[in-house]
Chain A
Amino acid sequence: DTGVSQNPRHKITKRGQNVTFRCDPISEHNRLYWYRQTLGQGPEFLTYFQNEAQLEKSRLLSDRFSAERPKGSFSTLEIQRTEQGDSAMYLCASSSYRDRGYNTEAFFGQGTRLTVV
């Protein structure tokens, strides 16, 4: 396992089209996160999965966005009816849970760069 894997690395789509991104976390990690990063900004939290359960969604995640993590393994992020404002880097991260309430480090993938034209 070489880390968090995201596909595709780049996606160019026309406004109004639907796109889907995939994230394969580190295999033993039960926690998975999606972040969005726009140019010149830090990543912003979008959503979090613990195993297959989606436990938090940011207000940034409009109803055009949906994320799934079937069977607690890989995850997909779908954007419907894309808009130019959706252009960003979409990052996936994973981590595991340790005893005494401390989380382990979150490892990030290389991201999917979305350009909506």
Chain B
Amino acid sequence: QQQVKQSPQSLIVQKGGISIINCAYENTAFDYFPWYQQFPGKGPALLIAIRPDVSEKKEGRFTISFNKSAKQFSLHIMDSQPGDSATYFCAASISGGYNKLIFGAGTRLAVHP
């Protein structure tokens, strides 16, 4: 059973625009929500992560918004650049245990110049 649902599957954004990717989870025990960026032929790399004690976290052009009651979280990429073109995965895990990550299916982002 898929526990983290991610949308959209693919996204095309013009340079300078805002990219928004959404995720929803089912397991209320999850309390760590990272976003990973993956380029072709490479392993996933952590982009930004949030814990449910805050509703938003911003690092540079990347922002996570978190809605605990709706069990949803999203990634916003401001001023999107062609170099941001990659596949983005949301994930969830339970702190206090080990870092077993449950991933969404991914969003392929293309930023056009």
- A-side residues, CB < 8 A to B, are 4, 6, 31, 33, 35, 40-45, 48, 50, 55-56, 91, 93, 95, 97, 101-111
Contact = CB atoms under 8 A, between A and B. Distances in A.
Contacts of A41: 105-106
A103 B49 CA distance: 12
Interface of B: 4, 6, 32, 34, 36, 41-46, 49, 89, 91, 93, 95-106
A101 B96 contact: yes
A6 B44 CA distance: 13
A54 to B, nearest CB: 12
A45 B6 CA distance: 17
Contacts of B100: 33, 45, 48, 56
20 contacts: A4-B43, A31-B98, A33-B99, A33-B100, A40-B105, A42-B6, A42-B104, A42-B105, A43-B44, A43-B89, A91-B44, A95-B99, A102-B32, A103-B32, A103-B93, A105-B46, A105-B49, A106-B99, A108-B43, A110-B41
Contacts of B104: 42
A24 to B, nearest CB: 13
